Amino acid sequence: MKERLQKLISRSGLMSRRRAEEKIRQGLVRVDGRVAQLGESADPAQAEIRVDGDLLRFATATLTLMLNKPTGYICSMDDPNGRRLVIDLLPAELGRLYPVGRLDYNTEGLLLLTNDGALAQHLTHPSHHVSKTYLVKVRGLLNDQGRKKMESGIKLEDGVTAPARVSAVRRSGQNCWFELTLREGRNRQVRRMCEAVGLPVVRLKRIALGGLRLEDLKSGTYRALDDDELADLKKKAGL
Ligand code: URA
């Protein structure tokens, strides 16, 4: 995939984007032997890019990390409306990482990002049923009837939901908190399930995915998964 040269150079870890722009202006960057111009893009998989004569290299190792996504960020790689992107919370040196699945703009919590295409594909494939647990705050109280509906399946416009698990229900004034564990990942599923039982969601946070838990990872920060976590995740994803 083509990317602006200055972005590619900073992503390789060689230098900052600003410094890379200077190098391009100074005529010190070459693409396939030709002096590059500022504003030019190249595909690092196809082109030979040299800075000061040195060949640009990219780490080939795979990397998977968990981010505690704050609200007010989207999970796309770009946004025509200029909203903030989760990938902008990561330093350029980590290279291009892709969000695994999506959390809504107003949802916070555990989001995986990876450059391991096979893992991302398996984790998001509906047949693998990796569980996801959400901490949900709703306006109103979740009664037995609502709870049973969520646990047995709710008819939404795209079909009946698979049985979910509801736990840790507690009341807080006119609101209610609970944990909801799903084994599927449809668009805005938690919000739609809650709306279907008359409870608008006021806060939504994903706190677990597979065997991974967010624990005390601070909002807006990330950490790489360790080898055991990765092995367990791959197993659960059917890899
Ligand atoms: N369900 C939702 O409604 N929103 C999310 O972001 C994730 C699950």
**What is the pTM assigned to this prediction?**
0.78
Same domain as 223, residue 120: yes
Q: Are residues 110 and 75 both part of a single domain?
A: yes
- Tell me, what CATH number does 76's domain have? 3.30.70.580
Top-confidence residue, 17 or 164: 164
Are residues 148 and 200 both part of a single domain? yes
C-alpha 149 to ligand 1 mean position (Å) = 18
Note whether 136 and 70 are same-domain residues: no
| pLDDT confidence of residue 59 | 61
CATH number of the CATH domain containing 183: 3.30.70.1560
Q: Is 104 a catalytic residue?
A: yes
At residue 87, the pLDDT reads: 94
pLDDT band with cut points at 50, 70 and 90 for residue 216: very high
Q: Count structural domains, the chain.
A: 3
Mean pLDDT of the chain, nearest integer? 92
Q: Determine the atom of ligand 1 nearest the C-alpha atom of 191.
A: 3
Q: pLDDT tens digit string along 124-170?
A: 887 778 999 999 999 999 999 999 999 999 999 999 999 999 999 99
Please give the residue range of the domain that contains residue 49: 3-55
Helix axes 117-124, 227-236, angle to 10 degrees: 50
Residue at which a domain ends, from 55, 72, 99 = 55
Q: What is the mean pLDDT of the segment spanning 49-71? A: 87
Mean of pLDDT values over 181-205: 96
Q: Which pLDDT value is given to residue 17?
A: 85
Task: Write out the E strands in the chain.
Answer: 3-4, 29-31, 34-35, 41-42, 49-51, 54-55, 64-69, 98-99, 108-114, 132-139, 155-156, 159-160, 165-172, 175-182, 201-209, 212-213, 222-224
Tokens of 115: 């450059």
Quick one: average pLDDT of 76-100?
90
**Residue 56 C-alpha to ligand 1 middle, in angstroms?**
39
Which of 200-204, 230-234, 235-239 shows the highest mean pLDDT? 200-204
Q: What is the pLDDT of residue 60?
A: 63
CATH number of the domain where residue 49 is located: 3.10.290.10
Output the pLDDT for position 29.
95
Which whole-number Å values give the CA distances from 115 to 64, 78, 202, 230, in the listed order?
7, 17, 32, 13
Give pLDDT, residue 202. 98
Q: Mark whether 120 and 218 lie in a shared domain.
A: yes
Q: Give residue 56's pLDDT.
A: 84
- Is residue 40 predicted with pLDDT exceeding 80? yes
Kindly name the residue from 104, 144, 158, 228 that is annotated as catalytic. 104
